[in-house]
A = this chain, B = another copy of it.
Amino acid sequence: MPEIRTDPITGGRVIIAPERANRPTDLVAAGEPGTGGPCVFCEGHEAETPGEVLSFREPQSAPNAPGWRVRVVPNRFPAFEQATQPLEPVERIDFFRVQPAYGRHEVAIESPRHLVSITQLSQQGVREVVWAYRERLAALKEDSRLVYPQVFKNSGLAGGASLEHVHSQIMATPFVPGGIAERLARSLTFYRRHTQCVFCDLIRRELAAGERIVSETPEYVVLCPFASRVPYETWILPKAHASHFEQISSEVAGLLALVLQQTLARIEGLLEVPAYNYLIHTSPFDTSPLDHYHWTIEIVPRVTKVAGFEWGTGIYINPVPPEDAASLLRW
């Protein structure tokens, strides 16, 4: 059973999840050929995963049977457990604090076919992936014990993936993670000082400067952030202020899918299909629309390694200026 521990020195939380050591893997080093499937995520293997919590499928097809296009299932090796309770610590010691890891950990299988990149999906396929995120967030929000959702994709070995079949993950925690709490707090401080959303201000300034813009549509801006932590770090932001990802409309989801897929295609083309992560930053479930916070998608190519200086200090050293990255990625 996974548990949440808090470091007595730093206050940082970790999840100790021994079950995850048993995860199977079919991933190989970059450049080596993949398995080509089939695998547990492929159509026809539905019985090899926990039962689906969401699927987009053919009208005549039955749950947990072939006929689906996108399928969301609980992770078989979860970092969070639904079968526990969040608010009563198993053991409450001031110094060494342990809490049960209540939460959700789901896998969004993005295609019934053994594809390995979201760029191989049709535009409609990516739209359904984005819509599955929205649907699951809206559903998880109904559980008042869950406070924060983290949608993310690990792609490639260096990105922390263990299976090559195209998929992403959704976790929901009973607390706001430290890194998110800090973003929210700083954004609120900015809002109080300047009476505007720091993200809206950032978008305005970046569009005016232009040098870090990768692309712009009427709805979205794609840019390499000013203080990029890694080479080719890229953010996608909605131009209109919006704090909660689960409130996107179906139409906007389709436009986002287009921008997300095109951005990833540019990154894959330029960096020869690198390992990468993307993640969606959004607002906690227990908040109303926030004037000071803005949902964003962060794409983090994993072409450099996190080294000792970064571990020690939290400061990243990035050899590629975001202005250069944006100019190479621009479309």
Bound Cα distance A199, B8 (Å): 9
A159 CB within 8 Å of chain B: yes
- Check B178–A315 contact: CB distance below 8 A: yes
Residues from chain B with Cβ under 8 Å of A96 in the complex: 205, 226
Bound Cα distance A322, B7 (Å): 12
A10 CB within 8 Å of chain B: yes
- Check B177–A313 contact: CB distance below 8 A: yes
- Check A9–B159 contact: CB distance below 8 A: no
- Check B160–A15 contact: CB distance below 8 A: no
Could you say how many copies of this chain the assembly holds? 2
- Check A225–B315 contact: CB distance below 8 A: no
- Check A309–B186 contact: CB distance below 8 A: no
Least distance between A127 CB and chain B CB atoms (Å): 21
Residues from chain B with Cβ under 8 Å of A308 in the complex: 150, 152-154, 159-160, 169, 277-279, 300
> Which listed residue, B7, B177, B199, B315, touches A14 by the CB 8 Å rule?
B315
Given contacts A8-B198, A186-B9, A305-B157, contact A177 B314 (CB under 8 A): yes
Residues from chain B with Cβ under 8 Å of A229 in the complex: 12, 14
A192 CB within 8 Å of chain B: no
Residues from chain B with Cβ under 8 Å of A321 in the complex: 16, 18
Least distance between A3 CB and chain B CB atoms (Å): 9
Given contacts A96-B226, A227-B7, contact A14 B178 (CB under 8 A): no
Q: Mark A289-326, 1 if CB is under 8 A from B, else 0.
A: 00000000010100011111111111111111110100
Residues from chain B with Cβ under 8 Å of A39 in the complex: none
Q: How many residues of A contact B (CB 8 A)?
A: 79
Interface of A is mostly: mixed
Given contacts A198-B9, A227-B6, A317-B79, contact A160 B14 (CB under 8 A): no
A143 CB within 8 Å of chain B: no
Q: Mark A208-233, 1 if CB is under 8 A from B, else 0.
A: 00000000000000000111110000
A13 CB within 8 Å of chain B: yes
Bound Cα distance A148, B178 (Å): 24
Please report which residues of chain A, range 135-181, place their CB below 8 angstroms from some CB of chain B when the two chains form the complex.
148, 150, 152-154, 157-161, 169, 171, 173, 177-180
Given contacts A201-B95, A309-B152, contact A319 B159 (CB under 8 A): no
- Check B150–A13 contact: CB distance below 8 A: no
- Check B178–A305 contact: CB distance below 8 A: no
Residues from chain B with Cβ under 8 Å of A8 in the complex: 198, 202, 226-227
Write the chain B residue with the least CB distance to A296.
B9
- Check B307–A9 contact: CB distance below 8 A: no
A45 CB within 8 Å of chain B: no
> Which listed residue, B9, B79, B225, touches A309 by the CB 8 Å rule?
B79
Residues from chain B with Cβ under 8 Å of A300 in the complex: 308, 311
